[in-house]
Each structure stands twice: as structure tokens, then as C-alpha cells.
Amino acid sequence: MVYRERMKETPLFLPLRVGRYNLRNRIVMAPLTRRRATNDLIPTDIMRIYYGQRATAGLIIAEATNISWQAVGYPNSPGIFTTPQIEAWKPITAEVHEKQGLIFLQLWHVGRVSHPDIQPNRQLPVSSSAVKAGGTITTPGGTKEMVVPRALETFEIPQLVEDYVKAAENAIEAGFDGIEIHGANGYLPEQFLHDGSNIRNDKYGGSIQNRCRFMLEIIKNCCSAVGSDRVGLRLSPSGVVKDMFDSDPVSLYEYLISELDRFNLAYLHLMEPYAPLIPEERYRHYLKQVTPHFRKFYSGPMITNVNYNFASANEVIRTGHADMVAFGKPFISNPDLVERFRKNLPLTDWDKSTFYHGGEKGYIDYPFYNSR
């Protein structure tokens, strides 16, 4: 009786229509970079096992996946731009579908968050402007300081948009149910959005409308190619990692999200602040709570993410601020996270040392609760 009442009163377990799909629950597996692909960015068979283990999620958003060689910033992250890559994804999507799951692929271009040691022919990474990100990056030659990227020429940008479109089409060919554009976390689309990284004086720079142009062109063209009901977008309106900064992020994202509402997307995926907004004087104009503010600018399905637990996830859906909640690290160490939530079972802790390298360890060897 207690179990039945728990199910009845738990918003996370309610079905939801998202784009052309019916989700069996509102628990989303967040995109998680795990770097288990080959040196040629080809997905491996342990990735099939990994995603298949987690197919009870209402929706899996597969890890950030490179749209071209230029897009790469992290070795052994998968790609979706060559035939071998497309073919290697097919058994993975088939495994998820065999278990009645749904899976979208996150499309990725890191922009300036790369290095000549990683880029083809040791070329400079590209960005909206020749503005360097602070910090270091891991390369095949060791840890190195970030470099000043090359500012993209105006005439190059349509080809970049086409790279996203082709990657979206390749993802559908590989069996994915849809795609998510990675517009968060300091990568290329966000580098165009923020005036701390975009100092262009052409139609892609200056005003908020111009800085949003690249993102909106990606969305428009991907929707035309694969259907708006198979396209999602991830944003981090209060994200400050990788030296990201904007002088008026609230107005920027109010405009962008209002424009996105015209596209009838499968969903919008908003990240709450995931890095401390310090020093406070630098980020006092950033929102500490993102999802409640932007809900009123977007009428479609919305995912929220970052540091939710079972109780807070149910509450944010119950209030109407979001329709789904994405979980990241808990899904790494709990392949049966949905069942553990359903039955109020304890969660297994994750091993951070295995997040980004290694084979099966810390990847497909976390136990299901009922197998203990």
C-alpha cells in the first residue's frame, strides 16, 4: 500500500509527451563525458553495455559527441561525423531500444576549449573571437596552458552550422531518437552568446540579437533537417566555468529563450549554477536560481539539472518550474537509478577517479541493487 501511494504522489514517475515520443517517466540521464571511445573517436562495445544498463530512464541524453575533427577538445570522446563512427553507434541505440528506452545524442563543438596538440595539423582552435580562456587543458603532450583561439571569419560560420546539421542527420541514421545541441558549459555556441568571449563587429557580434544569431541558425537548420520534435538544446544561463562571462546574462537568455519558444522543440534543458558564483561582486548580476525565472519565457517541455535529489526533483516538477529532471553522477554509479528511486533504495557512491578514463572499471561494473 505504501509503495502504491508513493507511486501515485511522485511526479518523477508520471509519463510525459516530449516531441514525438512518450516518456515512461521524467527521470532523464544527463549527458556525461566518459571518454571510452577509440583514438579515432569511434564508440566501443562497452558503451553499448553502459547505455543499455541505464535504459530505464525516461530519456537518455548520450554524452557530448564531436561534430567534426575541429570540434574536438578531449581525447577519446566519440564522434558522429565519419561512417565508422555512425556504424559503431548503431548497436548502442539498438540496445537501448531493445530495452524500450529512448536516447538522444548531444552534439558538441568545444571551440576555444582545445589546443593545437589536439587539432588537425596543429591548427589553432576556433572561437567567436580571439579571446583566450584561462586555465589549462590536458593534451597528448601533457597539461598545457590554453591558447588564444583564431576568430572565425564570417564566411566560415555557415559551414559550421552545416556541420551541426550533418551531425544531426548522422545521429538519426545511427538510430538516435533525436539530438541535443550543447549550448552550455563554455563551448562554442556559448562563446558566441557571451560578450566576455564575443567581441565581433559583424552580424554575429555586438547586440544580444546578433550574439544569439549563431545559436538560432543552428537550431533552425537542425529542426529543418530532422524535425523540431527531435531537437533539444542545453543552456547554462548562470554558468561561469571556462572563463565565461556576460555583462547582462538575464536579458541575454530572456531574449534567446523567448526566441527558442517559436521552434516547438522537443525540450529545453536548463542547468542551474554548477560552479560557485564567486567572487560575488563579479557575478552579482547572475541568477542563483535559473529554472523558475526562465520557465515563464518558455512554454514547451523543460528539463532542469544540477544537484537534484529525489525529493527536490519531485518538488521542482510539482511546482511547474520544470517537467523533467536530469541526473548525472547518480546515474554513473547507479545503473538502476529509476528502480532505486521507485523503491526508496540507497544509492551507491561514485568513484570520481574513473570518470574520464579507463575501460570497464567505474563504467559498466557498478552493481544493480538486486544483484548484490
**pLDDT per residue over 161-181, tens digit each?**
999 999 999 999 999 999 999
The set of catalytic residues is 187
Condensed to tens digits (0 to 9), the pLDDT of residues 229-279 reads 999 999 999 999 999 999 999 999 999 999 999 999 999 999 999 999 999
Domain of 49: which CATH number?
3.20.20.70
Q: Contacts for 256-262 with beta carbons within 8 Å, 24 or more apart?
A: 256/193, 256/208, 256/212, 256/215, 256/216, 257/294, 257/297, 257/298, 258/297, 258/298, 259/212, 259/216, 260/216, 260/219, 260/233, 260/298, 261/297, 261/298, 261/299, 261/300
pLDDT of residue 8: 55
pLDDT computed for residue 357 by the predictor? 81
Give the phi and the psi of residue 142 in degrees, each rounded to 5. 110, -175
Which of 191, 189, 195, 202 is CA-nearest to residue 233?
Answer: 189
Give the residue ranges of the chain where pLDDT is below 50: 1-4, 6-7
φ and ψ of 346, to 5 deg = -65, 150
Place of cell 553499448: 48
Question: pTM for the full model?
Answer: 0.96
Residue 80: give the domain boundaries: 2-371
> Distance (Å, rounded) from C-alpha 211 to C-alpha 216?
10
CB 108 within 8 A of CB 71: yes
**What sign results for the dihedral spanned by CA atoms 245, 262, 164, 63?**
positive
Which strand (E) or helix (H) includes residue 295? Answer: helix 291-295
How many domains does one find in the chain?
A: 1
Contact 34, 355 (CB under 8 A): yes
